[in-house]
Amino acid sequence: MVARVRVPDTVKRGEPFDVRIAIQHVMETGYRFDNAGRTIAKNVIHTLVARYDGIEVYRAELGSGIAANPYLQFWITAPASGMLELSWVDDAGVAGRERVPVTVRD
């Protein structure tokens, strides 16, 4: 799965900064039909977790009410420079992961 994650170039110690993530995913609702009239199985990214240097800082449970190619913006703080890791799983069990370094400047 292709995903794009954006964080500011530098952040201030302890100051909130925004994390923006966009993942390429159909977010299939399970309410649509294919050309033969069969139901297309529901397949959405149901969990997204953000960890900073291994510590969980944010978690979101998504449903079929989230638009295709889900986009999420949320805020976290960083006590020191480190690695932000975002991981997600969809109903088909396909997982994705993206790591971005965060630079803290005083």
6 binds other proteins (CB under 8 A): no
For other proteins, which stretch binds (CB under 8 A), given 1-9, 74-82, 91-99? 74-82
Q: Got the DSSP string for 92-105?
A: TS-EEEEEEEEEEE
d(CA 63, CA 35): 25
Residue 87 tokens read as 């991981």
For other proteins, which stretch binds (CB under 8 A), given 2-10, 28-36, 85-93, 95-103? 28-36
32 binds other proteins (CB under 8 A): yes
Closest by Cα among 106, 59, 57, 61 to 83: 57
Count, residues in the chain: 106
8 binds other proteins (CB under 8 A): no
For other proteins, which stretch binds (CB under 8 A), given 1-9, 63-71, 90-98? 63-71
74 binds other proteins (CB under 8 A): yes
CA-to-CA separations, 49 to 36, 46, 64, 77, in angstroms, rounded: 37, 10, 18, 15
**Which residues of this chain interact with other proteins, rule CB under 8 A?**
15-17, 29, 31-33, 39, 52, 55-68, 70-77
